[in-house]
Amino acid sequence: TLNGRRLPPASYTALGPSTLSVALAHLNGSRQQSGDNLVCHSRDGGILAGSCLYVGLPPEKPVNITCWSKNMKDLTCKWAPGTEGETFLHTNYTLKYKLRWYGRDNTCQEYHTAGPYSCHIPKDLALFTPYEIWVEASNRLGVAVSDVVMLDILDVVTTDPPSDVHVSRVGDLEDQLSVRWSSPPALKDFLFQAKYQIQYRVEDSSEWKVVDDVGNQTSCRLAGLRPGTVYFVQVRCNPFGIYGSKKAGIWSDWSNPTAASTPRSERAAGGCDPKGGEQNTTLRRELKQFFGWVKKHAYGCSNLGIKLYDQWRVWLQKSHKTRNQVGKEP
């Protein structure tokens, strides 16, 4: 029987009193971890012998190895399986690395940190010396080894998003906003350059517009905006030239979105309320008091940042640090 189903007599032949020849054709790939069960029975139904069959293909060599270092303190690598994927059999992947000209082979220990085919090396990495990195794939039918990738930690640095992103109005200019931010604090003691990108969108849209030509400035003025409109703004950083490296770095994640509104056009139609400013001031004060109370007394809200960015809108956000400690998406 194969997985409990009796095989046709034409598929096996008795070669002797204790030897049986079985020919199996058109098998599907094994879909269970324990393999496929081939069992030989006596005439009265008792089990004489059995075997586990693992039907599939040997692994193909992994491809597309890419690595990055967060603030030069660690290294994370991702790869892709061969074209046949898992080939019906469970396949183990092992990331190995060593210094190019000397040293022993090392094996990465922290897998699945950045997806199913990834591994994280948290410490004890050398700078100014290239590494050789490769991935070995193995299953019950064989072993396949990827091509070797050579890299220097300084050439694959990424960093935290820019911090302290502030968006504010430019006086009474109804079509402009000013954006300011700070360099990534984790790299402040290292010799490096940086280039930045900004993306922004209006409140009721999911389409971001990207500003590429920011360069290494830590401020930028957005122009050509719509009057009386709320905008969300994010900034990201690409460190390059660290300690003289010739290669560009890797873009960081985007910062948390920061919101602000452009001034409303004075030419807009509508009546004039001489007490409107006074009412808005009172409303803002009451909003700030209310959300301050929420932040203080509500469970889980102690790490929220609160910003009033319009006459009646409030933006609440958790810091990156808090989100990483909790280990969940915001």
Structure confidence by residue, pLDDT tens digits, 200-230: 999 888 899 999 878 888 899 999 999 999 9
pLDDT of 328 strictly over 70: no
pLDDT of 179 strictly over 80: yes
Most confident of 80-84, 144-148, 263-267: 144-148
* In a shared domain, residues 78 and 41: no
* In a shared domain, residues 172 and 122: no
Q: How far apart are the first and last CA of the chain?
A: 53
Q: Which residue has the higher pLDDT, 33 or 68?
A: 68
> What pLDDT does residue 274 have?
42
Cα 254 versus chain centre, distance = 12
pLDDT band at 34 (very low <50, low <70, confident <90, very high): confident
Segment 233-292, tens digit of pLDDT: 999 988 877 777 777 788 999 999 999 999 987 654 443 444 444 555 666 677 777 777
Residue 298 belongs to a domain = no
Q: Are residues 145 and 136 in contact, defined by beta-carbon separation less than 8 angstroms?
A: yes
Least Cα distance to 179 among 236, 237, 220, 226 occurs for: 220
Q: How many domains does the chain have?
A: 3
In this prediction, residues 315-328 reach a mean pLDDT of 49
**86-100, 281-295, 311-325: least confident range:** 311-325
In this prediction, residues 143-148 reach a mean pLDDT of 94
Structure tokens at 80: 């892709």
Residue 303 belongs to a domain = no
pLDDT band at 310 (very low <50, low <70, confident <90, very high): low
> What pLDDT does residue 241 have?
73
**108-117, 157-166, 269-278: least confident range:** 269-278
Residues 131, 129: Cα–Cα separation, whole Å: 7
* In a shared domain, residues 171 and 225: yes
Residue 109 belongs to a domain = yes
> What pLDDT does residue 177 have?
93
Residue 276 belongs to a domain = no
In this prediction, residues 187-195 reach a mean pLDDT of 70
* In a shared domain, residues 181 and 107: no
Domain end, chosen from 119, 140, 155, is at 155
pLDDT of 326 strictly over 60: no
> What pLDDT does residue 304 have?
66
In this prediction, residues 16-25 reach a mean pLDDT of 87
pLDDT of 309 strictly over 60: no
* In a shared domain, residues 169 and 150: no
Q: DSSP assignment, residue 216?
A: T
Residues 248, 157: Cα–Cα separation, whole Å: 9
Residue 105 belongs to a domain = yes
pLDDT of 122 strictly over 60: yes
Residue 1 belongs to a domain = no
pLDDT band at 52 (very low <50, low <70, confident <90, very high): confident
Residue 274 belongs to a domain = no
> What pLDDT does residue 311 have?
52
In this prediction, residues 145-166 reach a mean pLDDT of 90
pLDDT band at 181 (very low <50, low <70, confident <90, very high): very high
Q: Quick check: helix, strand or coil at residue 320?
A: helix
* In a shared domain, residues 173 and 225: yes
Domain end, chosen from 204, 232, 262, is at 262
Residues 179, 73: Cα–Cα separation, whole Å: 30
pLDDT of 88 strictly over 90: no
> What pLDDT does residue 322 have?
40
- Phi and psi torsions of 242, nearest 5°: -65, 125
* In a shared domain, residues 136 and 149: yes
Structure tokens at 8: 């046709």
HSE-CB of 300 using CA atoms within 13 angstroms: 5
- Phi and psi torsions of 111, nearest 5°: -95, 165
In this prediction, residues 47-59 reach a mean pLDDT of 87
pTM metric for this prediction = 0.65
pLDDT band at 189 (very low <50, low <70, confident <90, very high): low
In this prediction, residues 174-182 reach a mean pLDDT of 91
* In a shared domain, residues 183 and 222: yes
Domain end, chosen from 88, 122, 155, is at 155
In this prediction, residues 35-51 reach a mean pLDDT of 88
Q: Which residue has the higher pLDDT, 55 or 298?
A: 55
State which residues form the domain around 97: 63-155
Residue 216 belongs to a domain = yes
Q: What is the CATH number of the domain that holds 116?
A: 2.60.40.10
Least Cα distance to 228 among 257, 199, 269 occurs for: 269
* In a shared domain, residues 71 and 133: yes
